[in-house]
Structure 1
Amino acid sequence: MTRILILDGHPDPDPARYCHALAASYAQGAAGTGHVIHRTNLSDLDFPDLRSRSDWEEGPTPAAILALQDQLAWAEHIVIVYPLWLGGMPARLKALLEQAFRPAFAFGGKAVSPGGGKLKGRSARIVVTMGMPAAAYRVFYFAHSLRSLKRNILALVGIGPVRDTIIGAVETRSDESRKRCLQRLRRMGEQAA
């Protein structure tokens, strides 16, 4: 039994968004095999953007962020699902990570000390959807923003290993292909992978 936090990082609350279905499918698979899950939807959270280093280091932490930090500390495995927007994660998801990974929480003190905080030893799965084919993102763009999230954010705070799943051409996939992707995420949830 693994404690899993699923962060649905699509900022649009419209239930028709494919990311929401992918997050739900992973959650169903995980819960169905006895894993304990908590799901957080970015679109449900209310928090301000950080505007200065002093806000990040010493400013008050909003209630929604404190709750997310508790969930991150509780989790053994973290799943982040989001759409690729303009070559990267949505700005609102980046703002959430900036808020959550404050030095006192993510680095174990005021100074940035890689891997020294409360998140060391957790594993993660990143699921990214996009309009372009997945192969084009990996080969032509070198999965740049995904690699940055893995190396410059998650690994920096001690989360690892971090695995990824890229689901490309989401707008042009057939219904059958979309169902296969949902089944794939459900199997990942069953295995807490």
Structure 2
Amino acid sequence: MKITILDGHPDPDAARFVHALADAYAAGARQNGHQVRRIDVARMTFGLLSTKQEFESAEPEEAIRGAQADIAWCDHFVVLYPLWLGDVPARLKGLFEQVFRPGFAFAAARKGRFPTRLLAGRSARIVVTMGMPAVVYRWFFRAHSVKSLQRNVLGFCGFGPVRSLLIGAVENLTPARRDRYLQQMRALGRDAG
């Protein structure tokens, strides 16, 4: 299977757990013979969109075209990010706005019709780390950023199924628990799940 991993943590510090999770997934996938490509938000340089015209018609920058090529290539797309203020970090949101444009991710709707989903036939996995317990985010906050990404971005463009994994209380993980999450990510990578 062809897998593209989007490491959405904007901090390039190797100590960030999201980076370790992405590495573990990639290692598991390669171990089982899957092809893997990586997109690392922390290492990308791109501008933010400010107008509808830029979103609809401006030529994407080289870094964005590269990310689009990696997403178009894959059968399975893995997005990892830390929860910041209840949502994706701003740089990751900016990347989504740049990448998932009309003409690449969807085709404009004809009158009275839903837009054509140009990325159909691909599955996805969302992995989110957070300071709060995952159960609090899932039940009290209703996992709104995950649901929004599943439905309003990935689902809108044709990805399905889109599964998620929430990892809570990351600042308090014991070494043993951290290792269990890394093993889980390796297993998900092996299974392309």
TM-score class normalised by the smaller sequence: over 0.9
Q: Say whether 1:105 aligns with 2:113.
A: no
Change (3 A) 1:141 1:26: same
How many pairs are equivalent? 192
Q: Is the 8 A contact 1:114 1:156 kept in 2?
A: no
| 1:179 pairs with 2:179 | yes
SS in 2 for 1:141: coil
1:4 aligned residue: 3
Q: Contact (CA 8 Å) 1:9, 1:93: kept in 2 or not?
A: yes
For residue 150 of structure 1, what is the aligned residue in structure 2?
Answer: 150
How far residue 40 of structure 1 moved from its aligned partner, in angstroms, is: 1.2
Shift of 1:115: 6.1
CA distance in 2, matches of 1:100, 1:57: 11
TM-score, normalization by structure 2: 0.96
Counterparts of 2:152 and 2:98, CA distance in 1: 15
**Match of 1:90?**
89
Q: 2:81 aligns to what SS in structure 1?
A: strand
Shift of 1:184: 0.3
Deviation at 1:121, TM superposition (A): 1.1
* SS of corresponding position for 2:135: helix
The reply on whether 1:164 has 2:174 as its aligned counterpart is: no
Alpha-carbon distance, 1:110 to partner: 8.1
Instruction: State how far apart, in whole Å, the 1-side matches of 2:114 and 2:75 are.
Output: 19
2:65 paired residue number: 66
Please say if residues 115 and 158 of structure 1, whose CA atoms lie closer than 8 Å, have aligned partners that are also in contact: no
Quick one: which amino acid aligns to residue 69 of structure 2?
D
Q: Tell me the equivalent position of 1:39.
A: 38
1:23 aligns with 2:48: no
Contact 1:80 1:127 in 2 (8 A): yes
Counterpart residue type for residue 49 of structure 2: L
Runs of 4+ in 1 over 4 A off after TM superposition: none
The one-letter code matched in structure 2 to 1:91 is A
Equivalents in 2 of 1:11, 1:114: separation in Å? 33
| Unpaired stretches in structure 1, ≥5 consecutive residues | none
Q: What secondary structure does 2:171 align onto?
A: coil
Q: Deviations over 1:64-86 (max 9, x none)?
A: 00011111110000000000000
Aligned equivalents of 1:126, 1:55: Cα separation in 2:
27
| 1:60 Cα deviation after fit | 2.0
- Quote the Cα distance in structure 1 between the aligned partners of 2:184 and 2:78: 14
| Shift, 1:21, TM fit | 0.1
Identity %: 50
- Aligned partners of 1:129 and 1:167 also within 8 Å: yes
* Corresponding letter in the other structure for 1:22: L
Q: Given residue 145 of structure 1, which amino acid in structure 2 is its aligned partner? A: S
* Compared CA separation, residues 9 and 71, structure 1 to 2 (3 A): same
The within-5 A match list for 1:121-132 is 121-132=121-132
Query: Is the contact between residue 27 and residue 189 of structure 1 (CA under 8 Å) also seen in structure 2?
Result: yes
